[in-house]
Structure formats: structure tokens, C-alpha cells
Amino acid sequence: CLILIILSPPFPEYIVAFNGYFTAKARSHFISSALKNSEAVDWRIVPRENPASDFPSDFEVVQIRQAPRHSLLTLEDHPYIKRVTPQRKVFRTLKYTPDRDNHTRWTQKWQSWQSSRPLRRTSLSLASGFWHATGRHSSRRLLRAIPRHVAQILQADVLWQMGHTGSGVKVAVFDTGLSEKHPHFKNVKERTNWTNEKTLDDGLGHGTFVAGVIASMRECQGFAPDSELHIFRVFTNNQVSYTSWFLDAFNYAILKKIDVLNLSIGGPDFMDHPFVDKVWELTANRVIMVSAIGNDGPLYGTLNNPADQMDVIGVGGIDFEDNIARFSSRGMTTWELPGGYGRVKPDIVTYGSGVRGSGMKEGCRSLSGTSVASPVVAGAVTLLVSTVLNRELVNPASMKQALIASARRLPGVNMFEQGHGKLDLIRAYQILNSYKPQASLSPSYIDLTECPYMWPYCSQPIYYGGMPTIVNVTILNGMGVTGRIVDKPIWQPYLPQNGDHIDVAVSYSPVLWPWAGYLAVSISVAKKAASWEGVAQGHVMVTVASPSGNDMTSTVKLPVKVKIVATPPRSKRVLWDQYHNLRYPPGYFPRDNLRMKNDPLDWNGDHIHTNFRDMYQHLRSMGYFVEVLGAPITCFDASQYGTLMMVDSEEEYFPEEITKLRRDIDKGLSLIVFSDWYNTSVMRKVKFYDENTRQWWMPDTGGANVPALNDLISVWGMAFSDGLFEGDFTMADHDMYYASGCSIAKFPEDGIVIAKTLKDQGLEVLKQETAVVEGVPILGLYQTPSEGGGRIALYGDSNCIDDSHRQKDCFWLLDALLQYTSYSMTPPSLTHSKSRVAPPTVTDHPLPERLEGNHLYRYSKVLEAHLGDPKPRPLPACPHLSWSKPQPLNETAPSNLWKHQKLLSIDMDKVVLPNIRNYKPQVRPLSPGESGAWDIPGGIMPGRYNQEVGQTIPMFAFLGAMVVLSFFVVQLTKSKSKPKRRKPRVKRPTYLQQQQQQQLTVG
């Protein structure tokens, strides 16, 4: 009973967002009138006791004991209520490792832990739920903050010598708080608490460290010690927070006119609408937000929100050898999936591994993580803002433009790892201080021939008949918070560089807000180049207008360079089905590998360039051309492709898709399916109470949507079972691991089936019993009977090709399957295997049925609700690209697109710096426990107060000069007032005597 009481959820809480800012009385009246005639029972407005409660707000938190769905809809029907969303709990454990000059050893241990994560073996039963309150799937977490004085390494002291120290800039630190009398900080303007704990102090040390990197004035000095520091305590000592705490704190930051805001937090939920909307509002109010990109590397597609937003400066981490940190999350962004390709993120990278910062009470400590890299950039931004005389020129867009235009590109690293490169503080200063408002693009050019930076685009040439290559470009508008594209972007091919051999289509944001928008460029090969090979170039011309001020306009060029080859043979072309892959955050999609209980939701966006990156690279190395299908199966010409790959599909299929695929396979298209588990009993078992939404979550599919896949392949007498198996085995002399896969329940009698001995993982999950099952069919190969028909290959587990879960890759098996499907070459190692069995026609495991009451229709592109029984939607029209009418140019393209691009109106020579030609960072290592003055030669920073000495260099020099001058004036006066007489010869004092006399005089 005690366990049940602990696990029972509290009353659900909902964030009711309004269309404007209203007083507490008005907000209460709106909610009362909306719920007056509803069936909501025992509802109340949750009181919020924090500094923002004295001001109008744009949201309330409402607690409802019983909240029928139509009651929530009734709330949303109120004219002043914009949206109702569940209150989300932010729960992530802060993990950091102090460094004692053993960072290399720690890194090796950390990498070992990362690589061993999938091997963890723990009980599959936890009380009444398989997974309970992990909080890892949708939370915003403190990104691990885990040695070295970073401000001077980035040459901040060059700007200090010029008198810039962050003065007059308000910087907010949203973290775990700060103690009142910490010796490292001299200008803490305000500390506020937004949690339910009655303290302002930092009980963890994370917030202190972050604040120290930005503004510490002693020991491990920060970038901007004179900045006005605003401390927002939004996490408890147990690292818990709620969306509503952030919303109130964000509103207060807007009220206080904060200039720079650091968020060393993040999470995968980019659909937490109140949070995302409030971030937009913050940046629209000119708050420059800097956020950590995440610690989920080295996997791709693991970016965290809000750092993945266009208006936020997303920061990744590097070590002091300029290597991308293993922990740093990689792009692309996954908001745009499964339709095609994401945007470039992070924006910039900087030191985040083994950085020194302030300790919780005193002294310094060393931490690593993008949680460290973020305040490095936030501190640099704060310092940069203080160098600009006309603060009206500084906004979230202009600052990001300066940072990315000045960044130093790291060699051998692609754009989804480093963004625009490594932070260069001095170059950013030069750019910012000669800046004129303008628009710019990120990336500033498209070069599909430039590897490795333009990976994955450079990894495969384009050809006639292929799926259009889509590059998502971010438009940054430094002219104003809002803007628009004038007329339409213009495609101008360079005729001398064969630009007329490519077609370009452009879609773009109708409104650029706040400070940014998108430009999606689709590139295809013109029919005239079907058998042509070479390089083609041109550029897209975009004009942006902003209504702020004098209706400013800015025109930018987007150079485009591609490599074209002759269309490959059909057998070499593989089409990847992206359209039927779904992912968190819309719904609960469980992990493909049930052993990975520490992170139950499959939030990595399945894509050949994210968690299937290694598989994609392998296929390219084998000579295959891989294309992405971001539309229904009805929208491609099957005669162009040898094999269609469906991997880990969660979506349903339109009836028209099923019909067309059967027809395509009869005409020679082949199909490879990598499935995963689907068992309704296990799905009910793995439900869990989510601390974020305060609701029980039930999976809407298993690892894959096996019932939908069975509908697709049933015409050939094939089906996957609801069995759930796991185990190690050997196939064709290769070691294999089957991770939570299903078995083949039915297969044609003339097909080839391979079976293995595996553990019944379903039984282990449901009854905590272990059983070994012999002869589990896991692989099937089939040649369809129609003349010229295609081939079908089924495998019950996708984990062996998925970077997120892979323990032992099965790329060799994929090669064998493609040899079979594309070239009709049956692998002898499989057909002659001792594991070959008769194809099953009946099975001990029944065919899986869809889980009753699942909510897949809520976020499916195929299903729609229909009187409680979801039905397919009408088949959507295939995407139709409107190709731009070319305006050819008879001019030569620039030879170097990267160096050709720079912000307009930048003249570096006009910005005067101290002589830094031979500058070397002067860093003196601190002794353990050393507490003293600034960590630069002499112990005093020029022009800065030092508590040990009590003087400043300029003042000391001035007083000394005045004393010397007074001495000479007095002596000159005496000599004029006295009669001249011959002085007796005296012995000249020694140098030591002179020094002693001077000290007495000065004293």
C-alpha cells in the first residue's frame, strides 16, 4: 500500500496561457467563467509566491482533480485563453566530475561509461511500472557542468586593457542560485528564488560555477567582472524545476530589461509550447539568450531545446586541443523531421572540457560539459556588449551574426559538430564594432563538394531523377525583430560554371520573427544533365526588409555549388523511407532496446544522417546511392530504385500506399524491412507515471508498428509475431546481438528462413522468468513469383544498424541483403547455413494486434479520429516543388565560397586594438587552494580593483607622478628665492640610498 501511495499521481496541473498580460484578479475571472459550466471537479489556481507575482502575467497554473478532455477544450474556447498544456516537471540529475589534473583519465572513464551504457543489465520490474518517473525523456536538465582559465585563453584581457569589463550590461544566470557573500563577485545586483525551497543559496555549486565563468573577479576570473549579475534560482537542490517557474522567471527577466541570459540546461522537448513561446518572447524583447546544446554526444540528432531554436545562440563544447568534445551533442535539428532535413546547429563551439570556475563557497573547481561552454560564450557576449557604444545595434541577431562570422573553423570537422567554428572573441569584437544592421545566412553558402565540413551533403553527388537535396538555411535579420522577404528569392545560375544544369526551388518563412526565419533550398538536376558529369554553380539572391526604423532592406547572396554525375543504375540506388518514422515529443514511443531503461523514450529522430549515420556511411563506401523519401510511398517512381528500406517504422500506411507498393514490387522494386518488438502485454507493462505531465503514459506503438507492417506485407503471406526476443548468436561467422526484436510468424514456403536460439525477453518483462527458445525465425528472404518481380528481406531487429543502441553492427548482413535485393545474388553463407529452417506457416506467438485505446491518431500523418475508431485520412497530394525561373549570369563564380562570404560593411582596419600581433595568453597556474588576486602577471588586472593591494595601477602611477612633480616644483622655487652660492662638493648617494629616499618621499 505504501508503494501505491508513493506512485499515485498528484492532481494534474495545467498551464493556462493567455493572449496578453492581465492582473491576477482578471486571470482568475477568465478561468472561473470558462470552467463554470464544465465537468471539471475540485479545481483551483495554484498560488505562485515569487517576485513576478506582484506584476501582471500571461499565464496561470490550474490544478484539476478530474479534468475531462472537453473541460480543457472549454478553457481553450475562452477568447482570452491561448493554450492549455500540462505543467511539466523538469527533473534531471546533475552529474559532474571534479578534476584534479587527471582530466585525461576522467575522459577515458567517461567515454568507457558512455560506450557501456547499452550493456547495463538491471531488473525489468519496478513495482507497478516498468519505468517509473525517470524524467529523462522530456525534461529540461542541468547539462553536466565537469580545468583552466578560459577568459585569458580567449584573450579577454586584451579588451580589459582597453577598459571593457562588462560594465553596464545586465546578465542573468538561470541556474541553482548563488550564496550571498561569495568572495568572487562584486556586482550581484539581485538574487531571486523561483522554486518551492526557501533559500537563495546554491546547494549544488552548479549555478556558482556558471556565474563565475561569466563574472568572477578573482582567482578563476570570468569574462565580465563589472557586469550587473542577476541570479535566478530556478532549480532546487534536488535538481527539480517546473515550466511555470521558468515562465515566471522569464517574465521577470523581461521586466528587468536583461541584456544577456545564460541557460546551461536543455531537454529534447521542443514542443513544450509555453516554454518555447516564452523564449521567443524573451528574444523579441532583445534578450540575447545563450544555451547549452546538450551532452548527448557523440550521437547525431541529439540537440537539446532551447539551444536548437533559431533565435538562441546554441553552444557546443571542445577541449583545449580544439577537438569536439565527445559529450557535445551533434546536429542536425530534428524539428523538421521526418519530412526531410534539419537545420545547422550548434551555432558555435568553445571550451567546455576541463574549465576552471568558481567553487560553491570559495576557491576554484574544474568541470566539463556544454553546461560549461554555454557560460563561456555568455560571458564573452556580455563583455562584447559592453564594448559597443551604440547599444541599439546589439540584438540577438546582430550578436549571433558577429559570433558566427568571426568563428574560427576547425579542420576536419563537419558543420553539424562545430556549427560555424570556434569562438574568436577578438575578431567578434572587431566585427561588432564596425557592424551595420543587415541580414545574413547560416550557413552562408551551399557547397556540396566541400568535405568534410559540408557533410552529409558533400558525401554524395546529385544526379538526374534523384530526390531533391534539401538544405535548410537560417536567415538572421539584424535590422529588426520582424522582417519579410521582398518578392521572391531569385535563382541566378553562372553560365560559365554550368549553373543551368541544376534546378532550384525555394520555400521560406512568410515572416521573419523573432530576428530569424528559414530558407529551404531544394536542389535537383535538370533533364539536360541526365548523362553529364561536372560541377555546377550559381547563387540565390534574397532581399530582406524590416519595418523597424526607416524600412531597412538588405540583400544577401547564397552561393550554390554542386557536383553532378550521370544517373546511377537502378541497382545502386537505395531509397530510405523517412515518412513513416515517428519520434518523441508528440507521443510515447518506447526504446527499441528494452534494456535501456534509463531513457525510456526513443527521442532521437530516426534519419540516415542522425542515428543511422554509420550505416549511411557504410552504404556510401560500398558504392550505393542513398536517397530520402519524405513523402508517402505513392510519391516516388519505383522504376528508378533497386531497394526500398523501411527501418523501425512507427507510422501507419495509407491503403493507397499498400496497393502501390505491391504493384511496384511486382515490377521489380525490392524491399528490406528491419522491424522491432510489438507486444500489447509488454506495452501495458512498460507504461510509467511521468513526473513531467503528471500522467500515466502508455506506449502508442512498440519499438516499431508491427501491425501496420504486417498489413503492408500480408499479400505475400508474410507476418511478424508479437514475440520479444534477445540474445547473442553467430551468423555466417559473424558475432551478432539481437536486442528486443520480434520473430517471423509467417513466411512463404519457397522462401529462405534463418532461425536462432534466443531468450524470451517478453516472458522476462512480464513474469520475471527466464526461458530459452530454440529455432526463433529472425531472417527471411523471398523472391516474388511474378516475372521480373522484386525480392523481399525481413529482419526482426533494427538495433544492429542503429547508432543509438548498436552493440555489434550487422552491416555485413545489410550488404548481403542488398546483394540479394538489388542484384538477385542469394548469399551462400545464409542459404547453406545450419540455421536455415522451414518457413513458418503457423506460430506459437499470435500476430500482434493494435493496442486498444492507443492515441497514435493524435500525431499521425495517416490516421484521424473517427467516432473513437481511427480511420485513414484522405491521401495527401505529393509535394510539388515550384522551380524558380532562372536568371542566368554570364560571370565567373567565386573560387572559394567560404572565404568569399563575410558580413557587409566590415572593415577590420577601422577597429583599433592593442598590439596583439605577438600576443600570447599569459596564464599563471594557481597552486592548490590558492586565493589571491587576478591570475595574470603582477596579480592585478589593469584598471581593476584588487582587494589584496587596495590600489589600482593607474591611480598609483598618477600619485607617484604628482609627488615627483611637486618635489621638482618645490626645489625649483627654493632655488629661485635663495641667492646663488657655490655648493660644497658632496658624495653622490648610491642607487640603494636613492631608492630608500624615494620610498620615504612617497610614503
Cα 699 to chain centroid distance, Å, stands at 25
Cβ atoms of residues 829 and 820 within 8 Å: no
* Cell numbers given for 225: 567582472
* Cell numbers given for 281: 518572447
Q: Does 274 sit behind a cis peptide bond, omega within 30 degrees of 0 on the bond before it?
A: no
Distance, in Å, from the CA atom of 885 to the CA atom of 406, rounded to the nearest integer, reads 34
Q: Does 468 sit behind a cis peptide bond, omega within 30 degrees of 0 on the bond before it?
A: no
* Cell numbers given for 92: 534531471
- The alpha helices in 667-782, defined as continuous H runs, are 680-685, 706-713, 761-767
Cβ atoms of residues 799 and 739 within 8 Å: yes
* Cell numbers given for 455: 557533410
Q: Locate cell 530526390: which residue?
A: 467
Question: Catalytic site residue 406?
Answer: no
Cβ atoms of residues 574 and 595 within 8 Å: no
| Sequential DSSP letters for 39-77 | --EEEEEPP--SGGGGS-EEEEEEEEEE--HHHHHHHHH
Q: Locate cell 595601477: which residue?
A: 953
* Cell numbers given for 182: 561569495
C-alpha torsion sign, points 948, 223, 140, 605:
negative
Question: Catalytic site residue 580?
Answer: no
- Three-state SS at 680: helix
Go through 844-876 and write b for each residue having 16 or more CB atoms within 10 A of its CB, e for each that does not: ebebbebbeebbbbebbbbbeeeeeebebeeee
Looking at 206, 580, 607, 805, which residue is catalytic?
Answer: 206
Looking at 371, 386, 524, 670, which residue is catalytic?
Answer: 371
Cβ atoms of residues 627 and 574 within 8 Å: yes
* Cell numbers given for 755: 532461425
Backbone Cα Rg of the chain: 32
Residue 913's CB is within 10 A of a number of other CB atoms, namely 17
Distance, in Å, from the CA atom of 85 to the CA atom of 274, rounded to the nearest integer, reads 8
Distance, in Å, from the CA atom of 26 to the CA atom of 864, rounded to the nearest integer, reads 37
Would you put residue 465 in left (φ > 0), alpha (ψ -120 to 50) or beta? left
Question: Catalytic site residue 206?
Answer: yes
Residue 902's CB is within 10 A of a number of other CB atoms, namely 14
Q: Among residues 673, 669, 658, 705, which one has the least CA distance to residue 794? A: 673
Looking at 58, 99, 157, 175, which residue is catalytic?
Answer: 175
Q: Among residues 525, 560, 524, which one has the least CA distance to residue 542? A: 560
Go through 165-174 and write b for each residue having 16 or more CB atoms within 10 A of its CB, e for each that does not: bbeebbbbbb
- Three-state SS at 147: coil
H-run or E-run covering 736: strand 734-741
Query: DSSP letter at 906?
Result: -
- The alpha helices in 204-284, defined as continuous H runs, are 206-215, 243-255, 273-284
Pairing state between β 670-674 and 791-795 = parallel
Q: Tell me the residue type at 811.
A: F
**Burial of 324: CB neighbours in 10 Å, binned 0-12, 13-18, 19+:** buried
**Cβ neighbours of residue 611 under 8 Å, at least 6 residues apart?**
299, 300, 301, 604, 605, 802, 803, 804
- The alpha helices in 364-499, defined as continuous H runs, are 370-385, 396-406, 415-418, 425-432
Cβ atoms of residues 478 and 438 within 8 Å: yes
* Cell numbers given for 849: 494486434
Q: Which residues are catalytic?
A: 175, 206, 371
